[in-house]
Amino acid sequence: MSVFPLFNKRRKTVKEIEPHEVFLDNLAQKKEEEFGTSKKRLEVSLSLQTLRFFAGIVFFLFLLLFGRSFHLQFVEGEHFSDLAQNNILSISATQLLRGVVYDRNYEQIAFNSPQFDLLFKKDKNFSLKKKEVFEISRIIGKEPKNIAYYLMEAKEGSVVVKKNLEHEELVQIYSGDLLSSSNFSISSTTGREYRNGEALAHILGYIGKIDKETLRENPEAYTIHDYVGKTGVEKFYEKYLTRADDKIKIEHDVAGNVKNEEIIKTEESGKNLVLTINAHLQEIVFQKTKEKLEEIGSRKAAVVVLNPQNGEVLSLVSFPSFDSNIFRKTSDKGAFNELFENKDAVFLNRVIGASYPTGSVIKPMLASAALEEEIISPEKKIYSPGYITIPNPWNPSQVTIFHDFQAHGWKNMREAIAVSGNVYFYTIGGGYEDQEGLGAERIKKYLSLFGWGSKTGIDLPGEKEGFIPSPEWKKDTLNDIWRIGDTYNLSIGQGYLSATPLQVANGFASIVNGGKLLVPHILKEIIDDEGKVIKKREAEVIRENFISQKNLNVVKEGMHQATVIGTARSLQVLPVKTGAKTGTAQTSKEGINNNWVTAFAPYEDPEVVITVMVEGVEGVTPVATHLARDILKEYFKEDLEK
């Protein structure tokens, strides 16, 4: 094929014509004939302006890409690096155990134990199958209709069907078809178990699901899944007992498999408490109190046993009680509501949380005050015909009679304490005839020195202050004047006065230990898992020497005579010499009284003070004294303190 030269006018050059150009030229000619001149070209070269436009777009996109890359890598590089790290790393908290509790002899009384709960996942689209309900009913022994109603009424989320499954129940669930449903599951947790949960309930308390307020106040210490102390030492010493968490860094691969685990923060487990309580004595006190209440047909009582030398609480029992283990055994709200709504207030710790008129147990305090104020000699005798009469100052023909429970005749201070003569204490309290009385203000002063009218400071939640009335209080509160009759009533522990059984016991402890008012306490020491003592509780003195030893000895001698010739003669059967003061406080019900006694032993070197208060006793039967006798008999027979 021949090649013809082609002259290029613009560049003044000659160019050879290629064969394919001849072919294209022929094709173009055919197209021109078919479509016309305007559509004859197959290729059109781009103009310089168009090329520049496209080049600008490419350059702009390049700059945009470069800028974004720079921002991600250098400006937000650290942030996205952390995100990337989190894709392969996770932080897990491993729950450590709550501290356990021991009695004074290192016998464990609060335990951690594994617990398995049956849960039901309830959401908006949940379904409850009849077969499943009947299977649950068969396993846990509840009526199918009750189970169905409970699950239907429960709020959305994880509903506890049965807490703390028994071993047999757990086996039946795993061997059946129940867990094949996505709605049911088994949760494994660590529960709390208490030795003799009913006897120790008001001391140990119990734990429960954390409330919103506690979680809000301690966001770093707890999670929404935690359990915290609700009452007793479980609550008071929560900050020591609560377990901390180990923080573990877990590395995953892209498939989610664990590649490595590393502990990045190690916290200590909860600390362990050693209490001053003697668990064996506690069980004896609880059982003896229960038997005595059943014998007389009463339901309410409070008993506390103290070491008067250091303020240690050896036993504390409040009736009626509850079983602390119930919060581990069941999730039945009905059972809980029944406890909380119980008319006898089973959660009330009557030793510290209820205050009562004290009756005649006030008299040793009043005698101490009269001796300290030197208004009477302990040898001076006052005559009791069985009453005193007070004329009306505006109408002398009208008199008010203040009764004694019998005519005691002539009695000095020791004898008056022993027989609990009201007339003697009316006289030294409010004054009568030629004998000066203390008066309301001085009575209040000395009762306050003995710790009445204010909290003792015991390391348990829910303590009450009690109350000591005064003329100012009566005027401000009742809009009434204070009368001599108010002072007489106060002098024998009646009227507006109230004290807790612990306040009474602690006041007596200061009489028998030489005049030291101590802070009673439950905690002996805090130890770690290796038994190392972290914190030791020492005796804490509030005040001392506010009554002279000479005057205290007179009062103690009177209380000893009460066990020989007086109102506490039933204590003579004990193997040690004792002292005591009884009391009967009237209630709003005619003929029904609260019965008191406080006793100490041995007389020469007291190691225990016991206060017993029994509510709702008919007449003046010395129920409290008999109960104290039975407890002290066991105490000294078994030498429980050692």
Q: Per-residue pLDDT tens for 313-334?
A: 999 999 999 999 888 766 556 6
pLDDT score of 81: 58
- Domains within the chain, CATH numbers bracketed: 5-39 (no CATH), 92-275 (3.90.1310.10), 283-633 (3.40.710.10)
In this structure, what are the phi and psi dihedrals at residue 610, rounded to the nearest 5 degrees? -125, 135
Among residues 156, 155, 166, which one has the least CA distance to residue 117?
Answer: 166
Q: How do residues 353-402 score in pLDDT, each as one tens digit?
A: 999 999 999 999 999 999 999 999 999 999 999 999 998 877 877 889 99
pLDDT score of 25: 53
Joined together, the tokens standing for residue 349 give: 């710790």
pLDDT score of 162: 83
pTM above 0.85, yes or no: no
Residue 106, burial from CB neighbour count under 10 angstroms (0-12, 13-18, 19+): exposed
Neighbours of 362 (CB within 10 A): 29
> Do residues 597 and 611 touch, judged by C-beta distance below 8 A?
yes
In this structure, what are the phi and psi dihedrals at residue 526, rounded to the nearest 5 degrees? -115, 130
pLDDT score of 24: 47
SS3 256: coil
Q: Amino acid identity, residue 61?
A: L
Among residues 423, 394, 396, 393, which one has the least CA distance to residue 411?
Answer: 423
Q: What is the DSSP string of 566-619?
A: STTGGGGGSSS--EEEEEEEE-SSTTEEEEEEEEEESSSS--EEEEEEEEEEET
pLDDT score of 333: 62
Among residues 620, 555, 140, which one has the least CA distance to residue 366?
Answer: 555
Give the helix/strand (H/E) hosting 8: strand 5-8
Ranges of residues in the chain whose predicted pLDDT is under 50: 1-15, 19-20, 22-24, 27-28, 31, 35, 37-42, 83, 86-94, 246, 248, 254-256, 264-265, 642
pLDDT score of 221: 77
Q: How far apart are the C-alpha atoms of 615 and 613, rounded to whole Å?
A: 7
pLDDT score of 242: 87
Q: Amino acid identity, residue 270?
A: G
Give the helix/strand (H/E) hosting 241: helix 238-241
In this structure, what are the phi and psi dihedrals at residue 184, rounded to the nearest 5 degrees? -110, 145
Q: Measured at the alpha carbon of residue 413, what is the angle toward residues 407 and 414, in degrees to the nearest 5?
A: 95
